[in-house]
Structure 1
């Protein structure tokens, strides 16, 4: 599904399909731009540098900084740009609550979230919107009336697509059974936690590859959440990084690109130097011996539970984004 022969600064990581478009396999997750609330110009500069380096796939959400991140994207990327903007719904900002967001799973809430994204981004349509279900952990958990059947949610997403407000539908934080149920809706991508050391959704990745659905993992290097291993701390990853003369994080991201052709990465950062390091992963090719060693350690260390915990944090917080 990809063409790594096109790896240049213009298309970091080569190209892969996403919702009928060809995008760079290394995009940019915008969540970490929240940190620049006191100096928005810095966030705009990070976005513009990403575009200069060939990034053409930006992942965002209205609940990132209660619309602040979307406002930065509006400032940095003209509405008529061909940059692929993907957002997500299923949670809503909650700046006065104990955590910065709350579940928002009801169909009417999904529609409201799409409208909020459109206004903040200054666009008439969003190329792709991911339905963030709350089926797996860690992260927000659904309770009470926030436990909604996926078919009801997809019906609303399809209506929004038919109205032209979104171009394509993705799903996030879901089990493989939900992916199967969602396939008839014409989903374009799946966002689930996945890394070299967290391969509990290998069957979901394989299903997506077979159905030509893009796989866009979060937690690509692990997480600070308890129980999720950090890729950069694995001895085998550290050894591979020393042998190759690159960072452990770059090894972890390069493994993801090489493991499955339908994988698209969206590593995030609020720092230009770190951005450049992430995008340089597109030029790293792991040899067969290194790949085999990493495959073996990853297969042996996946023990993360699938069920969500009660801690209502943000499932997009990741040590792969700084």
Structure 2
């Protein structure tokens, strides 16, 4: 195992994961979801996945809708890692979907089973470790989450999570079935409301899994714009990249915070894993905590 374990572990239900995981979105190309994008190099993407596992990553986040013109993240994971290591936890998402031409759609509660089965087929598994219900961010999720709870009872899904949600959504979901994780956008410069929700998850024993922690406002396009003076100062003091500081800062927000940075670059993969061992002084944390969007 590499330095992965230095960030500690967390329990997703009865599944133990190292806190630095891997997000599969960027495996398919430089511009995820763009069907006219230059596709990723297949052998390189497979190599990154295998290297991640060798470095100790045992939590991979993916989705059936992670595909570009020639690449599917789930297919790459299957090709690279099957038969899967016993301790590997694969988390996927349902709710959004894409037709073969790449057009987006949102599943009805009745269509969620088909999305779960699509992930099962692509990954070559008979059950999914964790399925997150990705929401539009507003409105009740009870009917959709209830449908996933039934799939959990049927054995197709082991654990459930929710993504792009509010504290009210978490309350709604917990009234139906256990929730092992919340995936929300989060990073340096988070609002007081976002910080409060992260703390609520910790109090309830629910993992908080930030997305776009490194990309920030760049979102799917990746990092964009200059980092703040505070982030650059801390990075220079430690001899690391600004991206590593951003990633490590999220891990310092609580033992229940997991990281799922994504990359198709072997060098960036090594940096992301190494960020799990990056420590900050109290003064550095205060400096980073004070950064505003």
The TM-score with structure 2 as length reference comes to 0.88
1:81 aligns with 2:80: no
Contact between 1:214 and 1:264, CA under 8 Å: does it hold in 2?
yes
Work out the CA distance in 2 between the residues paired with 1:8 and 1:18.
Answer: 21
Measured at CA, do residues 210 and 232 of structure 1 come closer, stay the same or move farther in structure 2, by a change above 3 Å?
farther
Alignment correspondent of 1:266: 260
8 A Cα contact 2:27 2:40, kept in partner = no
Cross-structure match for 2:182:
190
| Bigger share in strand | 2
Shift of 1:288: 0.9
1:154 is aligned to 2:148: no
Matched, 1:247 2:238: no
Moved more, 259-268 or 177-186: 177-186
Checking the alignment, whether the CA contact within 8 Å between 1:63 and 1:101 is kept in structure 2 is no
Query: Residue by residue, what CA displacement relative to the aligned partner does 1:169-203 show, whole Å, maximum 9, x if unpaired?
Result: 00001111111111231011000000011234222
- Equivalent position of 1:235 in the other structure: 229
Q: Is the 8 A contact 1:86 1:130 kept in 2?
A: yes
Shift of 1:37: 4.2
Partner of 1:42 in structure 2?
44
User: Where does residue 105 of structure 1 map in the other structure?
Assistant: 107
| Residue of structure 2 equivalent to 1:210 | 203
**1:217 counterpart SS class:** strand
Q: Give the unaligned 5+ runs of structure 2.
A: 30-37
**Could you tell which deviates more after superposition, 115-124 or 87-96?**
87-96
Instruction: Report the number of matched residues.
Output: 278
Contact kept, 8 Å, 2:120 with 2:126, in 1: the verdict is yes
1:27 is aligned to 2:17: no
* Structure 1 alignment gaps of length 5 or more: 1-6, 137-146, 303-322
Partner of 1:127: 129
Moved over 4 A (4+): 229-232
What is the distance in 2 between the residues matched to 1:239 and 1:288? 15
| Deviation at residue 8 of structure 1 after TM alignment | 5.2
C-alpha deviation, 1:105, in angstroms: 3.1
